[in-house]
């Protein structure tokens, strides 16, 4: 299920740009700033410096397990 995977990039403030959290459904190999951060908030020369500050993590979850646990908790 495409909703069960995502890449989450947390980018701190950089120069005059505020910090931001980006989420995107991409494969694990594409879980990096260049593939997830859209639109890129900084101009070309600053992209590398901006991306080095961002922390990107690939996350997986099982929505079926979550639904089952909710049903058990609610009964």
Q: Which residues contact 73 (CB under 8 A, 6 or more apart)?
A: none
Q: Specify the pLDDT at position 58.
A: 96
Q: Specify the pLDDT at position 11.
A: 97
Q: Specify the pLDDT at position 5.
A: 85
pTM across the whole model: 0.74
57 CB-contact burial (10 Å; exposed 0-12 / middle 13-18 / buried 19+): exposed
């Amino acid at each position: 299920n495409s909703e069960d995977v995502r890449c989450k990039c947390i980018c701190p403030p950089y120069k005059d740009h505020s910090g931001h959290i980006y989420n995107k459904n991409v494969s694990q190999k594409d879980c990096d700033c260049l593939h997830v951060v859209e639109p890129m908030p900084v101009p070309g020369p600053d992209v590398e410096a901006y991306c080095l500050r961002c922390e990107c993590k690939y996350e997986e979850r099982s929505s079926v397990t979550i639904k089952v646990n909710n049903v058990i908790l609610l009964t």
